[in-house]
Amino acid sequence: MTFRKKDIFKITTQRSHVSADTSFFWREAARWAGMDYDVFQSKPGLEQSTIVAHFRTSRQLEAVIAADQAKQAARNAKRKP
């Protein structure tokens, strides 16, 4: 996936420096997909991986867009008298 012709995973975004156990991402991916964690766990491994990958891609894209909007807002603020 790209944003302005750049791979979204090669675009640096501001990080919170929060670290979490892998199960946190699994639970968040399940919630994001609209399913109970028990239902998520009952899915085959490949399906779980696909959901987590989609979730992480979605989150990265949101971060890239937010960073771009923040940069644009800063540029616009400098232009105003």
User: Does residue 5 form part of some domain?
Assistant: no
User: Does residue 47 form part of some domain?
Assistant: yes
Quickly count: other Cβ atoms within 10 Å of residue 24's Cβ: 11
SS3 of 6, please? strand
User: Does residue 2 form part of some domain?
Assistant: no
User: Does residue 25 form part of some domain?
Assistant: yes
Quickly count: other Cβ atoms within 10 Å of residue 56's Cβ: 15
Do 48 and 26 meet the contact criterion of CB atoms below 8 Å apart?
yes
What is the pLDDT at residue 25? 86
User: Does residue 12 form part of some domain?
Assistant: no
Q: Which of 80 and 65 is assigned the larger pLDDT? A: 65
What is the pLDDT at residue 17? 65
Distance, CA of 47 to CA of 55 (rounded, Å): 12
What is the number of domains present in the chain?
Answer: 1
Query: Which domain covers residue 58, as residue numbers?
Result: 21-79
User: Does residue 60 form part of some domain?
Assistant: yes
Confidence of residue 34 (pLDDT cuts 50, 70, 90): very high
